[in-house]
Amino acid sequence: MKLEGRVALVTGASQGIGHACARALAREGASVALAARNQQKLDQLVAEITAAGGKAAAFVIDVSDEEQVKSGVKSALAQFGKIDILVNNAGITRDQLLLRMKRADWDAVLATNLTSAYLCIQQVIGSMLKQRWGRIINVASVFGQMGQAGQANYSASKAGLIGLTMAMAREVASRHITCNAVAPGFIETGMTAVLSEEFKQNAVKQIPLGRVGLPEDVASAVCFLASDDASYITGHVLNVNGGMLMG
């Protein structure tokens, strides 16, 4: 187990990619602080991880709310004593052509996908600096790298996360804290379940590996970046996209 003794905080852990990351990190021996808005779903995951012999606790946090991030992370630090690994995964879409995009939908996506990462990093970085070890992993997107029509807010938030990743990597590198991003392509989760069958079939045609990704594909990349195996990697964007974007 590569993460024995580590404590990880995963946002958006109630379903999809965050859920898979939390399970994978726990399987590697990390204690996991699970953050999301739905207490019931988080409790189910705590029960599952605990039943498998792992350690987990639920923290109800709306990551777009600064006060909830502050108090929730404080509770996690009080319970586990430290946070070694932060996975900024919570994210939403509010798709619309920019011409018609409501300001509220722009703001909600930026707050949930990007500002939340700034807030969470600020709350956990003290613990990492104290230990002179840490892993910050931001879940970006292929659309933050190449853009997507109808997703100007989402693409901007994910491109912003990539900039944040590189800036943060430079700020904390001297303390053995790495900051990386994963950029998933098309992953089968609640976020993509709403897309039409036709859209999905067309999307698969753009993927050299010929299939959509699974949350576990992203979780494996996150576990690698969290481990000591990735100690010389920082400021990097790891594509988990089946070859959808190369270069």
- Contact positions vs ligand NAI (CB under 6 A): 11-12, 14-18, 36-37, 61-64, 89-92, 112-113, 139, 141, 184, 186-187, 189-192
If phi > 0 it is left, if psi is from -120 to 50 it is alpha, else beta; for residue 53 that is left
Taking residue 148's Cβ as centre, other Cβ atoms within 10 Å add up to: 15
Q: How far is the CB of 212 from ligand NAI (least distance, A)?
A: 8
CA-based nearest residue to 30, from 10, 51, 58, 59:
10
Nearer to ligand NAI, 125 or 161 (CB): 161
CA-based nearest residue to 111, from 69, 169, 60:
69
Nearer to ligand NAI, 68 or 131 (CB): 68
Q: Among residues 80, 133, 154, 186, which one is catalytic?
A: 154
- How far apart (Å, rounded) are the C-alpha atoms in residues 73 and 92? 21
Nearer to ligand NAI, 112 or 133 (CB): 112
Q: How far is the CB of 72 from ligand NAI (least distance, A)?
A: 9
Which single residue is written with the structure tokens 């853009």? 147
Q: How far is the CB of 134 from ligand NAI (least distance, A)?
A: 20
- 151 within 8 A of 206, measured Cβ to Cβ: no
Which single residue is written with the structure tokens 């949930």? 112
232 is catalytic: no
Q: How far is the CB of 243 from ligand NAI (least distance, A)?
A: 15
Nearer to ligand NAI, 42 or 169 (CB): 42
Active site residues: 154
